[in-house]
Chain A
Amino acid sequence: MNLAPLNVALVGVLGLLGIGMYGLLMTRNLIKTVIVLQILVKAAVLALVMAGSAAGQIHLGQSLALTVIVADTIVAVVGLALAIQVRRRCGTLDVQALATLRR
């Protein structure tokens, strides 16, 4: 088995994971939060395809990846819809400002 592409994919997964985590920790904008969540999920999709290929069950990996993409799209849609509602009702998308609203 040729390991080179697998290693490349692994670097990709870790890179996406890192970017997603960093974004999630740092961003204060709800729309951006949805975007970094998408990046995180893309890391998971890539990891699934990679793992399927490594285990010799490429079809399983691909079908799981497809399932994740579908579910993830719904998450993105709902998340963005919520963000729009929050913006309309509270006038801000800043999560720290939103946290202080409860008091």
Chain B
Amino acid sequence: MALELLAPCPPFDLPGTDDRNHSLAGVKGKLFVLLVSCNHCPYVIAYEPRMVALANEYAARDVAFMAVNANDATRYPDDGLQPMKARARERGFPFPYVRDDSQALVRTLGARFTPEAYVFDEARKLRYHGRIDDNHRDAARVTSHDLKNALDALLDGKDPPVLETTAFGCSIKWK
């Protein structure tokens, strides 16, 4: 079951590619964007530059980003912590990239795909869930910037114009 709108962000404390643990309590920011991601999915790879650009753009507006990878690293070794470290370094992730090896966080979120975005407000209640935008193939042909629209609305004290969209991408590799 997917986390319902206005439900609180599940607590977590997960190891990151920066060799530190990252917890919900440690997240600072007016808004918190949690991106369910991974290393090997072509959809994620296509979106990574946009994920980085969004995180950089909204950092100045007090929005915290984090990416979490829960894929079964036994079947998909590219999704283990060491390859994640390499990816974070190569792409210059400006946000923590954490490993949910037990898959508990991602299961509680009810995520099914990578990438899948969750936006929590200052009280860490879910305000937007779904895709980043409507065109993973070509950023220039995006017609609906769903995540960006949600962030702009929330930062203006309004509800996101669309609260939920259907995420698409690779399925999460469950254990």
Query: Real complex partners, A and B?
Result: no
What is the interface of chain B, defined by CB distance below 8 A to chain A?
none
What is the interface of chain A, defined by CB distance below 8 A to chain B?
none
